[in-house]
């Protein structure tokens, strides 16, 4: 990345903060997840799989918020991304497609990776969509296995991926 682009990204990121989800966020988040599936994941999955995702993913934060941690990214205009966490596994990770490539996903992922590390886990894991595999690879995740599961009337391919989290002192070695 050129330094000018990196500076611009840094400037945009200053306006974004990550905070725990609130009940009042749920409607907006459901819409954000639906829109992102329709704009981004449709490029990688057939319609029956997209229909399955639309019926399940938007409602996960509402249905599982007592068992998982959820965090949202908020900028001047409101909520622009969401990420979930169960133990050391990243869940329900979506950034509003109008905001892709601005570093919001990375801010959310860094937030949960820090939490995973603080909880004593050496690795972070995720079932990645086909759409996000390249993103996770850039974030130093590697594919452990492929998973093809029934998703409604379709079969959904995902990649089980893992990253070894660096301990703080590694930076100085
Ligand atoms: C995956 C996702 C959350 C990333 O969010 P984002 O805010 O766009 O990510 P960032 O801006 O932090 O991206 C950081 C870098 O990864 C790159 N990147 C983003 N998505 C990528 C992809 N699918 N493949 C390869 N590189 C990707 C960006 O270009 C950027 O590169 P740069 O630092 O060189 O500029 C977002 O693309 C998304 O919502 N995808 C659809 C939903 C989905 O499939 N979620 C994953 C469920 S497991």
What CATH number corresponds to the domain at position 43? Answer: 3.40.630.30
Indicate whether 50 belongs to any domain: yes
The predicted pLDDT at position 1 comes to 60
Indicate whether 136 belongs to any domain: no
d(CA 36, CA 48): 16
* Dihedral class, residue 142 (left if φ above 0, else alpha if ψ from -120 to 50, else beta): beta
The predicted pLDDT at position 15 comes to 86
- Determine if ligand 1 sits within 6 Å of the CB of residue 101: yes
Q: Residue 35: give the domain boundaries.
A: 3-122
Predicted confidence pLDDT, tens digits, the chain (173 residues): 666 677 666 666 778 999 999 999 999 999 999 999 999 999 999 999 999 999 999 999 999 999 999 999 999 989 999 999 999 999 999 999 999 999 999 999 999 999 999 999 999 999 999 999 999 999 999 999 999 999 999 999 999 999 999 876 555 44
Indicate whether 145 belongs to any domain: no
- Determine if ligand 1 sits within 6 Å of the CB of residue 135: yes
Indicate whether 135 belongs to any domain: no
> Which mutation among 79, 132, 161, 163 tests ligand 1's pocket best, with the greatest number of atoms within 8 A of CB?
132
Going from the Cα of 84 to the center of ligand 1, the distance in angstroms, rounded, reads 16
Number of domains in the chain: 1
Please say whether the beta carbons of 104 and 78 come within 8 A: no
Helix (H), strand (E) at residue 110: helix 104-118
Indicate whether 158 belongs to any domain: no
């Amino acid at each position: 990345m050129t330094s000018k682009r990196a500076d611009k990204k840094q400037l945009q990121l200053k306006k974004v903060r990550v905070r725990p989800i609130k009940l009042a966020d749920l409607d907006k988040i459901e819409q954000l997840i639906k829109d992102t599936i329709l704009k981004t994941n449709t490029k990688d999955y057939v319609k029956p799989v997209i229909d399955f995702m639309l019926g399940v993913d938007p409602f996960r934060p509402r249905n599982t918020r007592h068992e998982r941690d959820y965090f949202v990214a908020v900028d001047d205009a409101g909520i622009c991304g969401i990420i979930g966490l169960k133990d050391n596994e990243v869940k329900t990770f979506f950034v509003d497609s109008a905001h892709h490539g601005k570093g919001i996903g990375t801010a959310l992922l860094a937030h949960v990776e820090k939490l995973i590390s603080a909880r004593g886990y050496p690795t972070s894991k995720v079932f990645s969509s086909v759409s996000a595999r390249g993103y996770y690879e850039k974030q130093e995740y590697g594919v452990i296995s492929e998973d093809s599961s029934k998703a409604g009337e379709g079969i959904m391919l995902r990649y089980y991926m893992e990253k070894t989290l660096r301990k703080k002192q590694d930076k100085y070695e």
